[in-house]
Amino acid sequence: MKHSIHRPRNRPLGLAELIAIAIGGMVGGGIFSILGISVALIGNLTPIAIFIGGMTALLAAYSYVKLGVYYKDEGATYSFIKKTFPKSHYAASSVGWYIIFGYISTLALYAYTFSAYTLSNTEYSHDEWVRKAVAWAVIWVFAGINLWSVKGMGKIEDLMVYTKIVLLILISIVLIRHGQTDLKTFAETMVRDFEQSGLFKILIVAAVTFVAYEGFQLVINAVNEMVDPDKNIPRAIYSAIILVIITYVVLAIGALLAIPKEQIIRDKEYALAAGAQQILGPVGAAIVIAGAILATSSAISSTVFGSSRQMAVIAEDGYFPAFLTKRRNHIPYNAIITMSVLASLLILTGGLEMILEFGSITFLLVSWLVAYANHKIRTKTRSSAVITTLAVTGLGISGLLILYYEFTHKPERMWFTLSIYAILSLGAWLYAKRNERKHSEAVRRG
């Protein structure tokens, strides 16, 4: 008898949707903001740093894939740490608090970037309150979509993600074809930039670019709603990261060939739109803006989808308030609403650059912890000792490099990050202590 090719009714997400969720989580505001920072530091070596950042993301992804297949838990990062270190309430609680507030910061950034690009060619482009209003609106639009239907979210995500990838590749090709610099001159400039910058600075930039790859782990949050997790978790995550590496590298090369470096540094995340405006006129700018809007839209949708489920799982374990556990048709509606409220508040307060840097440090730290957890139980997850060691080492070095960059360039941001960690650590400690007391009481009663 032939097996049915139809998906189980309670498993609406197939490989295409899962790849879309991973790409949607990665290709958001990150690539538009890191380009100017990277070019300012290492010039034409930017594509190399972006590639190294992608290789670091693949190292991190290895442990996520192995633990995701082994545990099959939609709590993902949080659940991996909780189950690998079952005796430590604080380990579970602190990772839960860090990862959720990291997602909130990136959600706010994506929404703000969406707003900036949407208004870039209008009379309101410099009106801060109009920008914030549009950012709030887009958060709540995608919160509504996620509250409406998992399947509906998946199909909309497919359309947005695959359209934006085509647009970004098209933008890259157009920039390369209309480049003011030939490839020979570009390569010669790379050599000169390497002599000036050196390998150490390239590695620093690679660490900074890691945030542009954050989001692939959102696939694991959908484990209860996907077809064949054993096969589709690794297929979706590895395929998505490789596609994103190619897209980022080609886009960076195109930008450097077509747009003067001084303009990329000056305009930062607006450099692509400004460069396209000069080369192709309003049509070129419109294409870039459309790509940016699609990129940020799908990143918002993916982040709301995955992080809200993780928040609900953490709350179910008692490390967040109990009202966040409420679900309707398996959709954690209170968690979705809470994520959206907190992201809206971050947009209201401003300082998103510092919040973004907090997010990048957070995801490097959390990825290191996941790699360490996988290394600890590598025989159970059937993981390579060599690859897990490389992951722990590589992610650890990347984390130290980005901290060094923050300390030497913007020490006040380092103190801001540390103060947020202190607040989050206190909240995590309080909930961990409460759970320890409950556990002790249950043991005494038993």
Residue-wise pLDDT tens digits, 203-230: 988 988 888 888 788 788 788 888 889 9
Q: What are 86-139's pLDDT values in tens digits? A: 888 898 899 889 888 888 888 888 888 888 778 877 777 677 788 889 988 999
Helix (H) or strand (E) holding 180: none
Q: Compare 173 and 65 and report the one with higher pLDDT.
A: 65
What's the structural domain count of the chain? 1
Whether 36 is in a domain gets the answer yes
Give the closest residue to 205 by CA, choosing from 44, 351, 365, 368. 44
Amino acid 108: pLDDT: 85
Helix (H) or strand (E) holding 152: helix 150-177
Give the span between the Cα atoms of 70 and 367, in whole angstroms: 17
On whether the pTM is more than 0.75, the answer is: yes
Whether 10 is in a domain gets the answer no
- CATH number of domain containing 75: 1.20.1740.10
Q: Which residue has the tokens 């706010």?
A: 108
User: Is residue 374 within 8 Å of residue 63, measured between CB atoms?
Assistant: yes
Amino acid 11: pLDDT: 57
Average pLDDT estimate for 362-385: 93
- Residue 290 reports pLDDT greater than 90: no
Give the span between the Cα atoms of 338 and 155, in whole angstroms: 24
Q: Which residue has the tokens 């607040």?
A: 423
Whether 188 is in a domain gets the answer yes
Whether 27 is in a domain gets the answer yes
Whether 4 is in a domain gets the answer no
Whether 1 is in a domain gets the answer no
Q: 421: which strand partners? A: none
Contacts of 199 (CB under 8 A, 6+ apart): none
Banded pLDDT at 52 (limits 50, 70, 90): very high
- Residue 149 domain boundaries: 15-439
Whether 50 is in a domain gets the answer yes
